Amino acid sequence: MHMKHITYLLVFITLSIVGCSGTVKSDNNTQQETSTIIRFDKDIFNYLQQPDSVKESTLKAEYPLLLPAFGRIAMDNSDPVTFFPSLREYFSHPMLMQIYKDALKTFDDISTYEQEIAAANALIAENLSGRKLPQLAMHVSGFRENVIILNNLISISTDKYLGNEYVAYRDFFQPYERQQMQPKYIVRDYVKAWLLSDVIKSEEEGQTLLSAMVNEGKVLYALSVLFPEKDVTDLIGYTAAQNDWCKLNEKSVWQGIVKQNQLYSTDHMIVTRFINNAPYTATVSKESPGRVGCWVGWQIVNQYAKKKGFSLQDIIDADAQTILKEAKYNP
């Protein structure tokens, strides 16, 4: 396959915020109440099997924003004149079409995911002043951008959730990346994308390691509230052994951050080494899992929540320094 078609981002859940105005045609209240996932992936596949102008018009009418956003993400082409020929050409590659079919097979019956979303929505409404998730959709990008975010819709690329042993992943993704490329993570990632794009805002300027860690900790804490039945390892995407390593080495990791004066560092390299997905956290140890900074931030927020008994919204609204100080975090 041409490399253009399989380009992927190192940060797995990096968000593409596109098309920030307008709406997607559908009854918003119905979508939220039934937690129905829009099957954009099936509609595009149906068109690819038997293309015609009527289907093209229908797709344009049903997905006025998602269709061009998908074009930009998957094919680098949202030109209405050449979009559909480009779409057919893009998915004409046999390997890419097989991946598409495998994704449709894996996510043929999505009722369990929709039930999980409905349960999360109920807890969102309870904990965040009646808020709800936006409409949710599925697409197939050919191993490209994982998430498309519009102002009232989040779509996830299902071909990134075919199981960590999926054969086609081996040529394109490292084991640490494949670890979270499993169906069980798709609902978590819908909610995580919403939290990051609409609820928990990160600092654009002057981000320190502390603020980055606490921000990730807020996301993980929110996920623990919204998915109370999930194991902590599935919330962060660790194996049991990786989580155990963090617990055993929590004190030394924290002491290392403090002693090396990294806590208030604004050095982008230091921040990304602690936060971004990687085989291990380079500034800590080759035996460590990646994203140790996220795990530490989670412990800080957990301790703050236990000490203060604040609501989820209170915790989201608190600044990093306040959380650290009042948590009295010192493992």
Q: Tell me, what's the pLDDT at 204?
A: 63
Name the domain boundary from 147, 171, 199: 199
For 96-128, letters b (16+ CB in 10 Å) and e give beebbebbbebbeebeebbebbebbbebbeebb
Residues 307 and 181 occupy one common structural domain: no
Residues 175 and 257 in one domain: no
Residues of the chain with pLDDT under 70: 1-34, 203-205
Amino acid in position 21: S
How far from the centroid of its chain's Cα atoms is residue 259's Cα?
A: 33
What is the C-alpha separation between 173 and 109, in angstroms, rounded?
Answer: 26
Is 256 among the domain residues? yes
Q: How many residues can be counted in the chain?
A: 331
Domain boundary among 180, 199, 218: 199
Q: Flag whether 8 is in a domain.
A: yes
Query: 221: domain range?
Result: 209-327
The predicted structure's pLDDT at residue 20: 34
Provide the CA 133 distance to its chain's centre, in angstroms.
14
**Angle at Cα 329 formed by Cα 325 and Cα 331, nearest 5°?**
160
**To which H or E segment does residue 34 belong?**
helix 28-34
Question: Beta 147-150 vs 153-157: how paired, if at all?
Answer: antiparallel
Which residue, 54, 138, 49, 37, is CA-closest to 87? 49
Instruction: Note the pLDDT of residue 280.
Output: 93
Residue 32's contacts (CB-CB under 8 Å, 6 or more residues apart) are 121, 132, 133, 135
204 domain-assigned = no
Judge if 151 and 233 occupy the same domain.
Answer: no
Phi, psi of 153 (to 5 degrees): -155, 140
Residues 143 and 230 placed together within one structural domain of the fold: no
Together in a domain, 195 and 52: yes
Start-to-end CA span in the chain (Å): 49
Are the beta carbons of 194 and 133 closer than 8 angstroms? yes
Same domain? For 21 and 163 the reply is yes
Beta bridge partners of 136: 37, 154
Quote the pLDDT of residue 130.
83
182 lies in the same domain as 69: yes
Q: Indicate whether 195 and 224 sit together in one domain.
A: no
Residues 63 and 110 in one domain: yes
Residue 101 in any domain: the answer is yes
Q: What is the pLDDT of residue 30?
A: 37
Q: Residues 300, 179: one domain?
A: no
- 168 three-class SS: helix
Do residues 100 and 16 both lie within one domain? Answer: yes
Return the pLDDT at 290. Answer: 96
Q: Which of 148, 177, 199 is the last residue of a domain?
A: 199
pLDDT number for residue 61: 96
pLDDT of residue 317: 94
Dihedral sign, Cα of residue 36, residue 41, residue 45, residue 51: positive
pLDDT for 12: 37
Look at the chain and report how many structural domains it folds into.
2
Query: Are 194 and 220 within one domain?
Result: no
**Does residue 262 lie within any of the structural domains?**
yes
User: Is 78 within a domain?
Assistant: yes
**Per-residue DSSP letters for 37-82?**
EE-HHHHHHHHHHS--HHHHHHHHHH-TTHHHHHIIIIIS---TTT
